[in-house]
A and B are shown apart, each in its own frame.
Chain A
Amino acid sequence: MSENQTEDLESFRLRARAWLADNIPKADADISMTMVGGDLSDEEELKVVQLNRDLQRKLFDGGFAGLCFPKEYGGQGLPSAYADVFNDEISGYMFPWRIQVPTFTPCAAVLLEFGTEEQKLKHIPAILKGEELWMQFLSEPSGGSDAAGALTTAVKDGDEWVLNGSKIWTTGAWWSDWGLCLARTNWDVPKHRGLTVFILPIHQPGIEINRIEMLNGSKEFCQEYITDVRIPDSDRVGEVNDGWTVGIRWMFYERSFHHSDLTVRPATSLAVDEIDTGLLPLATKAGRHDDPAARELVGEAFALKKATQALGHRIPQAMMAGTMNDQGASLGRLMAGISGVRETTIEFEIAGSSAVTWAEGDALGREGEAFLMRQSGCIGGGTTEMARNVISERVLLMPRERSGDKDIPFRDVERGRKA
């Protein structure tokens, strides 16, 4: 096949199918894929991360990494349909699940859109080879949803910037390599006009990483304290003080995981020849297989899952058809959050009392712990309240919320209750 000729979808499918069968282990071969944070010791966690890097490298060596990334940066330069096909075919196989978010979306996506040629040539191939794992230095302790209210500050010093501040909710910063960072570069203009985006290596003097213990014992999330970290101007992404232009797209990409052609996400967790029986196995395990109440819950959860998938397919189609603007991605984010909440509740209900007290090794107990963490799916990656604001204001064009920081220098914005 010549370089310029694009392989047709069906041949691509067959080639991917054969390659996966020969090169990638089945998902059930490794229990760690299904483990939630908090289950793993640090040693195990690092092993899982290494496994993800190795899987990414395998995809790269096989010519299946970055299917929709441009060829000049190590990708395959294929249209989205090829990513869809690959997601079908990789169902039931292991894949680099831990590094899709935030390395591919939003970080690599932001670099592709706003990075300099030099930045893209340096980092995108490294990302596609599993050599660079990225984190978002976005949220700050002073407020998660109001990302443009960043207090972390970069001050220009010759050809460099000096960064000070703190970032939070970075998943696995302690085992990641690079950070995409939103910082304030001008305090004397309204908040959106004084921001700039930078990239920086995470492990360097001046960055202290503190791991946050979640209520379920997980320590995947981190907070970083940044002190006098020097960043060359060549590691700036986008224009000075125009960081919000980047930020808006950054947050769009953050919401786009479920339909982005830059991510690998198996169409189902099952192999092609397996059948999705939803929560039926859980009902059986809980001894409630024949209980009509449990059976109705199984049906409800299944319908909800199908609805979430159907919406996930429709949104990018609507965007492509031009019947919805790209803010419609928030519909998928909202659906994932609230469906996830309901599904977690259903699992908890089916598990019954075994979810609140359980014997060592009883898998039903996991439903109780998951229930304690239920709301995390409506908080992380932008709260569902923010998604509802975006949908109502940007999709339905309803009036914007009044804000207390509009058109005043960021320095003068109130940041806490007055004594």
Chain B
Amino acid sequence: MELQLSDDEQLFYETTERFLEDKTPVAELRARRDDPVGYEDGFWAEGVQLGWTSLLVSEEDGGGSVSGKGLKDLALVAHAFGKAAAPGPLLGTNIVAAALSRSGSAAQKEVVLQGLLGGELIATWAHAEPHPHNGLGEITATLTKVGDGYTLSGVKSPVEAAAHASHFLVSALLDGAPTQVLIAAGAPGVSVTALHSVDLTKRFGRVQFADTPVAAGDVVGTPGGAAGEIEYLTQVANVILVNELTGAFERAFALTLEWTFDRYTFGRPLASYQEIKHRMADQKMWLEASQAMANDAATAVQNQDEDADVLASAAKAYIAEYGTEALQDDVQIHGGIGVTFEHDLHLFLRRVVLNSGLHGTVSDHRLRITDLLEAKEAAV
């Protein structure tokens, strides 16, 4: 998270932070364990009024940000979500909103984008594919030209909030070229299967498209011309994921540090054992480095710096690795209570682990970094 926020940014962050503390305290998260949506009616629409889905949308389209740097503001929201292990399709809705604002048609903006901004509908990103096609960025869903339009076939998974989304932004290949289309959930041939998730309140589904008819007007941007957009959206997605992950990491670290002072063993607090002190020192270092990288990645992608792609992947590779290690170490330091459902720690462990596995694993991003370095080397 950014260290020095302007008064406006600070107010914006704290508004979301307090809203989440109020609406989704840990008791609420526990209560929604088996809820198909993961939050109570009205939660999302009310939160959206705080600006959650407007940040990557241009002012002409009815969006806007606090700082003038929408992704930086969104990174703050994501951080607050992580700190609260909050439910809600923050990533999916923002990706679709960004994509439509940047390259959607007037009709797409009028219905779906306005619905996202108003909080009355949810649209989500159907981009990732299930194994064996779950390598980062791999697309096998296919669009086939039929008359003036297309048909879409393929499977997308995991798709955030798939079961209650009204529209999907789908990445598919048209004659081998990446293309984005916006498909209504009720379109023929679309079926959604709910997935299990390590997270308590984040919901995912597997979406199958079987010869789903796609009108020419459903294409977002140019047919076959979405490679650059998908690259950008992948960077944005990872910026959201790492900032949320870092928020959850920060909360778990604070919980654990507190615990080391409260818990006594052999007549002294855990915090007095050098072994524990040294591990908390390591965690503090990982946490600060994660905060710095999550922030740097948000800035680079916001500004579309030349190295934004590498920095986004470096942030994911580092934060997903060390954030996960830190949370596991927090569990270890808690001992038996750390692996119970009763203790709150797992809520944050879940969020960290979930985010580490979405839109590229540590290993995927390391390989991507090397690919990107190679491409840059070749371009010189």
Contact = CB atoms under 8 A, between A and B. Distances in A.
B368 interface: yes
A103 interface: no
Given A304-B318, A314-B292, A321-B3, A295 B281 contact: no
Contact of B277 (A278, A307, A398): A398
B318 A399 contact: no
Given A275-B377, A307-B318, A396 B280 contact: yes
Contacts of A395: 281, 284
A26 interface: no
B4 interface: yes
A203 interface: no
B366 A303 contact: yes
Interface stretch (B38-46, B213-221, B232-240, B266-274): B266-274
B271 A315 contact: no
A387 interface: yes
A10 B369 CA distance: 32
A391 interface: yes
A310 B380 contact: no
B281 A300 contact: no
B278 A388 contact: yes
A392 B277 CA distance: 5
Interface string A312-336: 0111011001010000000100110
B23 interface: no
Contacts of A303: 313-315, 317-318, 365-366, 369
A292 B366 CA distance: 10
B376 interface: yes
Interface string B277-290: 11011101100111
A250 B274 CA distance: 25
B201 interface: no
Contact of A296 (B276, B366, B377): B366
A361 B17 CA distance: 60
B280 A310 contact: no
What is the interface of chain A mostly: helix, strand, loop, or mixed? helix
A308 interface: yes
A298 B281 contact: no
B74 interface: no
A299 interface: yes
B296 interface: yes
B257 interface: yes
A362 interface: no
A306 B285 contact: no
A311 B285 contact: yes
A368 B296 CA distance: 34
B3 A299 contact: no
A280 B373 CA distance: 8
Q: B272, B281, B290, B366: which has the most chain A beta carbons within 10 Å?
A: B281
Given A392-B277, A393-B277, A314 B291 contact: yes
B288 A315 contact: yes
Contacts of B380: 275
A93 interface: no
A396 B278 CA distance: 11
Contact of B314 (A306, A311, A315, A334): A306
B363 A296 contact: yes
B177 interface: no
B311 interface: yes
Contacts of A298: 366, 369-370, 373
A114 to B, nearest CB: 29
B302 interface: no
Given A296-B367, A318-B3, A335-B285, A302 B377 contact: no
B293 A306 contact: yes
B260 interface: yes
A296 B318 CA distance: 13
A321 B317 CA distance: 28
Contacts of B291: 314
B180 to A, nearest CB: 27
Contacts of A315: 288
A39 to B, nearest CB: 27
B200 interface: no
B271 A306 contact: no
B374 interface: yes
A300 B317 CA distance: 7
Given A314-B3, A321-B3, A299 B281 contact: no
Q: A278, A300, A387: which has the most chain B beta carbons within 10 Å?
A: A300
A295 B282 CA distance: 27
Nearest to A398: B271
A136 B236 CA distance: 48
Contacts of B3: 314, 317-318, 321, 323
Interface string B344-373: 000000000000000000010111111101
A299 B366 contact: yes
Contacts of A304: 318
B173 interface: no
Q: A298, A303, A306, A317: which has the most chain B beta carbons within 10 Å?
A: A303
Q: A298, A307, A318, A395: which has the most chain B beta carbons within 10 Å?
A: A307
Interface in B246-263: 257, 260-261
27 contacts: A276-B373, A277-B373, A277-B376, A278-B373, A292-B367, A296-B366, A299-B313, A299-B317, A299-B365, A303-B313, A303-B315, A303-B366, A306-B314, A307-B289, A310-B293, A311-B288, A315-B288, A318-B3, A323-B3, A331-B285, A334-B285, A385-B278, A392-B278, A396-B257, A398-B276, A398-B280, A399-B269
Given A299-B366, A310-B292, A401-B274, 18 more contacts: A280-B377, A299-B367, A299-B368, A300-B317, A302-B369, A303-B317, A306-B318, A311-B288, A314-B295, A317-B3, A317-B4, A388-B277, A389-B274, A392-B277, A392-B278, A396-B257, A398-B276, A398-B277
Interface of A: 275-278, 280, 292, 295-300, 302-304, 306-308, 310-311, 313-315, 317-318, 321, 323, 331, 334-335, 338, 385, 387-389, 391-393, 395-396, 398-399, 401
5 closest Cβ pairs, A-B complex: A299-B366, A392-B277, A310-B292, A391-B281, A299-B369
